[in-house]
Amino acid sequence: MSEACLLTAILLTLALVANTPSNTSINVAVSINALLGIVKAVGGDRVNVYTLLPEGVEPHAFQATSELVQKALNADLLVLTGHFPFEQQLLKAVQKPYVSLEDYEKCGLKLLMLTWGGSNKTNLHGYWLSPENAIAIAEAVAKKLSALDPVNSQYYHDNFISFKERVLVVFEDAKKTIESCGLKGVRVLATFPSEQYILEPLGIEVDDFIVRGENIFISGSDLARLYEKVVKGEVKLITASYMTKFMKAGEYAQQISKDTGLPIVYLQTLAYKLADYPSLISYNAGSLASGYEIVKQVKQVKAGGLEWLYLGIIGLLAFISMFEAIVIVRGRA
């Protein structure tokens, strides 16, 4: 073979290799479990995703440890919330590519405002629970993965589009569910600020929050105003995430429920506990709709008979059992 032919063969081989997707996975470290499902949906089989924050640890008070720094050093990409102090500590300790809040905002993420005590402040708690914000996070992750692994950029883009379409379809169905049961525009008492990102995208208004900050709860004067609104029928429900059942905030919610007669609707805030992110949207919309049905049945009970209340409770339990069964089947598929 002549030198010219040999050189041509080598160049063709190199070009083929350069355009062949790599089998090497990209290690992606997410700061908290809540981001896990979004990153997996975009990265697919091309990424190995793991969580930095230990299970059961409160992220606001957590400090970066040497073990955590080492886990971050092993990652090719860090996916952060931009909210927790330990994330900033990690960025100072390691020089790794990352995406955070400012990247998500460039892709359309919108933060809501908290209003209490006569002041407005940006709500950074649980912003990923809004379907549109989850899409923005997914887009930012897809762009960063494409920059790190350009050969597979189309793969990441296609996964992002698929995720976006699935989320939007389920989100539209959820909004229809809320509207059809009469919940759209209804005011509720939320336990944590993060619940605002579940409720308001669905058209449900948050009247106030039980938790105002770390170990700071709704004031007595605000609670008195809340009771007045309940009497007038202006506030219909209390919402709380499942984790509040084991917290002081949960005790507050249960006591307020007992005092006012408002039912508590428990929301799921951890997508990784379900099959995927769209399941989170469906689950919460169904729980809210079923909880509101109880409110309407209670009105009929006051007119006479407990049977409607019992039917409402049975319906709610049946819905939750059915949905959990579907999630388990999907997770095994």
Question: Domain for residue 10, yes or no?
Answer: no
Domain closes at, from 165, 189, 212: 165
Question: Domain for residue 281, yes or no?
Answer: yes
Residues 144 and 198 in one domain: no
What's the pLDDT score for residue 216? 83
What's the pLDDT score for residue 82? 95
What's the pLDDT score for residue 175? 98
| Buried b / exposed e along 49-62 (16+ C-beta atoms within 10 A) | bebbbeeeeebeeb
What's the pLDDT score for residue 55? 75
Chain Cα centroid distance, residue 24 = 29
Residues 203 and 119 in one domain: no
CATH no. for residue 43? 3.40.50.1980
What's the pLDDT score for residue 273? 60
Question: Domain for residue 174, yes or no?
Answer: no
Residues 45 and 85 in one domain: yes
CB-CB contact of 203 with 179 (8 Å): yes
Residues 316 and 253 in one domain: yes
Residue 73 in tokens = 């050093």
Q: Cα dist. 239→209, 217, 221, 245, 313 in Å?
A: 9, 15, 20, 12, 16
Q: Could you tell me whether strands 216-217 and 211-213 are parallel, antiparallel, or unpaired per DSSP bridges?
A: antiparallel
What's the pLDDT score for residue 295? 72
What's the pLDDT score for residue 293? 85
226-233, Cβ contacts within 8 angstroms, sequence gap of 24 or more? 226/189, 226/256, 226/260, 227/259, 227/260, 229/187, 230/260, 230/261, 230/262
Residues 53 and 148 in one domain: yes
Q: Tokens 């300790």 sit at which residue? A: 93
Question: Domain for residue 298, yes or no?
Answer: yes
Residues 29 and 140 in one domain: yes
Question: Domain for residue 4, yes or no?
Answer: no
Contacts of 163 (CB under 8 A, 6+ apart): 38, 41, 42, 135, 138, 277
Residues 249 and 128 in one domain: no
Question: Domain for residue 226, yes or no?
Answer: yes
Q: Cα dist. 33→72, 93, 100, 290 in Å?
A: 15, 21, 15, 27
What's the pLDDT score for residue 274? 60
Map residue 239 onto helix, strand or coil: strand
Residues 185 and 327 in one domain: yes
Please state the domain count of the chain: 2
* 261, containing H or E segment: none
pTM: 0.83
Q: How far apart are CA 200 and CA 162, in angstroms?
A: 24
Residues 217 and 320 in one domain: yes
Q: Strand pairing partners for 208?
A: 189
Residue 235: count of CB within 10 angstroms of its CB: 21
Which residues of the chain register pLDDT less than 50? Answer: 1, 3-21, 303-314, 316-317, 320, 324, 327-328, 331
Domain range enclosing 219: 181-332
What's the pLDDT score for residue 272? 58
What's the pLDDT score for residue 298? 62
Q: Cα–Cα–Cα angle for 45, 50, 53, nearest 5°?
A: 160
Residues 135 and 190 in one domain: no
